[in-house]
Amino acid sequence: MFTAIGTHGPVLSPFAGLVLDLILLTSAALLLLEPKRRSQGDMLLLTAVVIGISLSRVLMAGIPNVQFVTIASLLVGARLGARRGAAFAILVAVLSNYFLGDGWWTIFQAVGWASVAVIGSYANLWSNNSLDLKKTCYIAFLSAFMFDFIVSLSIIESSTSFLEFVAYLWAGIPYDLLHAVGNVTFALWFAEWFVSKLEISEVPTIEEAIIADLESTQA
């Protein structure tokens, strides 16, 4: 994997980085193990969205702190639920960081974007087959600051003082604002189109199919 440039917190050995990625990937897999099964087409859709958003992050890496993944995580959580939203966020963090630089900070990015997805799942952004764009913009704006704060925790180590951490947060405010404005811009630009494409059907379990057959027979 490539090595990131800059200060991102404690340096991990290649083996420790591999273990970290395996833990994150296992967590994503467990989140996707739901009672209801999904069709092959649904899995392909989720895979395509993960790859597409990861690629967009890699291509936009030169724009300071404009994180397309944040608004995508919010919308995936709103449309597909907390578990799938969190799994999506973790997979995007791991996949995109393979190219941008993997390390200790990956777990904080994964947690940050997963938290945004969970918020989206409980925010009632999607109802009556429509997206509440105004509420989406508000939450997208605030999510930038939450995500950036969570990722900022990655720099903390034994030698980091409280004042140094506060100074780090203060210096990052302009980048937080860029992130927040970028989120709102993305939301206004294509959120309704993006969320309309997220349609995953549920395949009933064997038990549910049997119960359904019995009910139809009795009827």
Cα angle for residues 75, 110, 73 (degrees, 5° grid): 5
Q: How far apart are the first and last CA of the chain?
A: 59
Report yes or no on 184 lying in a domain: yes
Rounded CA gap, 75 and 81, in Å? 9
Give the three-class secondary structure for 126: strand
Report yes or no on 9 lying in a domain: no
E strand map for 59-100: none
Q: What pLDDT digit, counting tens, does each position of 9-32 carry?
A: 667 778 888 899 999 999 999 998
What range defines the domain where residue 144 resides? Answer: 14-218
Whether the pLDDT of residue 213 is over 50: the answer is no
Burial class (CB in 10 A: 0-12, 13-18, 19+), 187: buried
Report yes or no on 7 lying in a domain: no
Whether the pLDDT of residue 59 is over 90: the answer is yes
Report yes or no on 182 lying in a domain: yes
Query: Mean pLDDT throughout 34-38?
Result: 60
Q: What pLDDT digit, counting tens, does each position of 73-84 carry?
A: 999 999 999 999
| CATH of residue 37 | 1.10.1760
Report yes or no on 3 lying in a domain: no
Please provide the average confidence, as pLDDT, over all residues in the chain. 85
Helix axes 14-32, 105-122, angle to 10 degrees: 20
Whether the pLDDT of residue 203 is over 60: the answer is no
